[in-house]
Amino acid sequence: MKHETRSHMRGGDGEIHMTHIVDEQELSHGRLLAHVTLPPGSSIGEHPHEHETEYYIILKGSGIVCDNGEDQPVKAGDTVVTPHGSTHSLRNTGNEALEMIALIMTD
C-alpha cells in the first residue's frame, strides 16, 4: 500500500495522511480507495466532483463537512455522499485524529 502526506490538500489547512488501499489502476469504475487521517485542526478544502461520486466513511473522530455550502457535523459511523455536480470540504474540529475511508467512483 502506498502512503503519502499532503499539505494544504485542495486548499485546506495542515496536512493529511493517506494510505491507498489499492492503486487507481486496480479500481474498476473508480479512482480512489484510501484510508485518510486528518489530524486535529486539519482540513480538505472545498472542491467539486464532476462525473464521479465520493464517499467518506467516518471511522474515528469528528468534524464538519461543508456539503454544497451547508455545514453538517460528522462523527464515527457517519457516511457522506458527494455526487456528480456537488462540492464538499471536511475539517477536523475534534481533539483526536479524524479517520475515514475515501472512495471515489466514476459515473
Question: Domain limits of the chain?
Answer: 2-89+100-106
What confidence tier does 28 reach under pLDDT thresholds 50, 70, 90? confident
The residues pairing with 63 across neighbouring beta strands, listed in sequence order, are 74, 92
* Average of per-residue pLDDT values in the chain: 96
**Topology (CATH) of 2-89+100-106:** Jelly Rolls (2.60.120)
Q: Which of 61, 86, 81, 63 is nearest to 73 (CA)?
A: 63
pLDDT in tens, 41-75: 999 999 999 999 999 999 999 999 999 999 999 99
pLDDT confidence of residue 26: 86
CA distance 84 to 1: 28
Is the model's pLDDT at 107 over the cut of 90? no
Neighbours of 104 (CB within 10 A): 17
